[in-house]
Structure 1
Amino acid sequence: MVRKLTKASVFWQAAFLLLLVGGGVAAVQNIEANLARSGISVSFGFLGSQAGFDINESAIAVSSTSSYARVLLAGMINTLILSLVCIAGATAIGVIMGVLRASNHYLGVRVAGLYIEVMRNLPKLLILLALFLFAINTLPSVRQSWGLFDTVFVSNRAIYLPAILPGSGMRLLTAAFVVWLVSIAVLGRFSRRVQDRSGVRYPVIWPVTAFILAVVLVSGLFGWVDFPVSYPELKGFDFRGGHRISIQFLVLALALSLYHGGQVAELVRGAIQAVPAGQFEAARASGLGFLQTMRLVVLPQAVRIIVPPMGNQYLNITKNTSIALAVGYSDLVSVMTTSINQTFRPIELMSLTMCVYLAICLAVSLAVNLYNARVSGGGIAR
């Protein structure tokens, strides 16, 4: 139902908007006046100057000679990567535990219930610190790292993995990944239309994945593209070459995934219980097992209920990555804090950080809302 706008409602909305704008302008002018009396001016010119400090982990090249803008960009990328990994981890854990909690399996129900109650009633920072101390004290030092076939090494500093160097092989893998995503999206929509018309359900994900992998493997075996690999080697006090995943990142991803997985599990359980009981009975009468019933009948209907509150959980995960400062991971907040200590520009740096977090959260919210609109208006999601 669409409400009709009246003159009174338009007037009060416009007045409220003007009040907000006026309050914002007054606050900015007040801040500028107070800073001017202290001999301080707001300027972002320092972003182009040399930062003078390095960060321990970055997806882009960063050194002590990099500018503040580049260091902040590296921190923002670290925050994005950590957020995506935690969102995926919390979703996977939450769905598994939520399905177990809603099942009739005696042991599964109690294990899932214990997990959910523990994770929902423990502070996330306590979980993070416990996992971090356990990893630091349990895993070996770099020189005594655990090795797997002399290619993968595990220490209390990082996990070291082989890495494919830039070249024709990396370009092929990137193109294959893009083609894989586009093919699944296009063929998945076509498959759903065919199923709606004929009732025949054609698989999409596994055939497309097998084809893409076959193309990559054949290209490598016949030498059409090169896949130069860099292996980690112990040199001095650390490994050189390959790719490293820091213990800080792993502990953060695990802690936030476990913590929010408990909350996602309750959302999944509630959505499953909201599906009419007749759907379960009809699926069982058709000869479907429990997992088939969940995958083909129950979860597709529960998605419509899960998506809106799940968006709030994704936003919370994104914001909670700021606890990375507790274990020394170089996320955006950590880089901002170090930059403030060196530049004495708290207003500028905090404003930038708030804008970045706002943009990330708005993007996540937009994606969830678009998917929610698609699921609500486009039939059952599969």
Structure 2
Amino acid sequence: MGLGTGLRGAATGLIAQAIEDINRLSAHATAASPTLILAVDTPSGLPSDGQHAEGPVLRAHRTVTFTAPKVSQLLSRDADAVGALDVCAIGSPFDLIEEIGQGKLRWAGPDEFAQLPLVRAVRAHKGNFGHVLLVAGSLGKSGAAILSGRGALRTGAGLVTIATPDIVLPHVAGGQPEYMSESLESTDEGTVAFSSLEGNSFEEILKGKTVLGIGPGLGTHTETQKFIRTVVRDTPLPTILDADGLNAFAGSGDLFRDRQSSFLALTPHPGEMGRLLGISTQTIQADRLAMALDAARRWNAHFVLKGHHSIVASPDGQVFVSTAGNAGLAKGGTGDVLTGILAALLAQFGANDGARVLSLGVYLHGLAAELASHGTDLSGLLAGEVADAVPRARLKLLEELRSSV
């Protein structure tokens, strides 16, 4: 029984009843009596054109589709009915594949990253892979700085420096021996003080850096938010803005237009996206693709809208959707790791193909979560474990690319 790509309208009658019966049996499965629902092409009842399902949808554990994912498998409110998604090549000529959105909507699968120089040259040295500067941490949130630094190191940045308030510097500096640290002046609440920009001390910290990541664990002190807005406006470096860095621009996203950097990537979860735009999280979730694309064009910035099937949107309308990852990522600190991952990849590969590089970061982050949680319960996955699994994720990506040649 199946309803494939050509479905129009809701499943009805006996087919609808069968879908509901299968879903009910699956929901009541036990370890002693397990069920596995495999969908071929697409789960029965799920339209393929991006429209929301009007009737019952088969809740698959795994879906095997062909040539490319269907839009609804990536972006509809019923996309979680797909379960784990496998895309199988069947020899379809690439130029004959229907291109949705004028060819700018893409699935962030391994083939998209084949053109990036993922293999290091034998004669490579640390200077070839960039120097990441992360501005992160505050009193009570020093772990965010450590995790972002760990993510950057594990993803291959040649050098990593963390600039953090002086009050937490000893803890941050001791969090990972492989990165360097710089001290910033603190407010009375243990966050970065605006006075850190006085004189040329911060300019000295910026010297020689390739990419800036700013935001994890910085807090929402008024002085700190002023510091963040000033740095984002004045830095010429490609910049990743996350967490409290985003909160500094809540309701004031138009400030992003006034900046020196030609490349800015914002990495909000739906709540942060709602605060940036001054609208509810529910409104964001109702049409994630449109929200990400509109904001990217409006502010000439790249967006990584995190969530189930994270979206990477660029100002020119290019979109990547990643299906990598699992519910283990629903834990504090995983976003900090992603900031480090994205900054490290931009340091290595540059920002000329920025949307693809960001998509690689989202893909590796999700795949690392899958690998780190293998054989364990997802509820216990830690952000640091995700960071430590990134090298394995990168190796698995390389193995998949080699096997497809």
Same fold (TM over 0.5): no
Query: Structure with the greater relative contact order (CA < 8 A, sep ≥ 6): 1 or 2?
Result: 1
TM-score, normalized by length of structure 2? 0.24
| Largest Rg, 1 or 2 | 1
TM-score, normalized by length of structure 1? 0.25
| Structure holding more helix per residue | 1
| Structure holding more strand per residue | 2
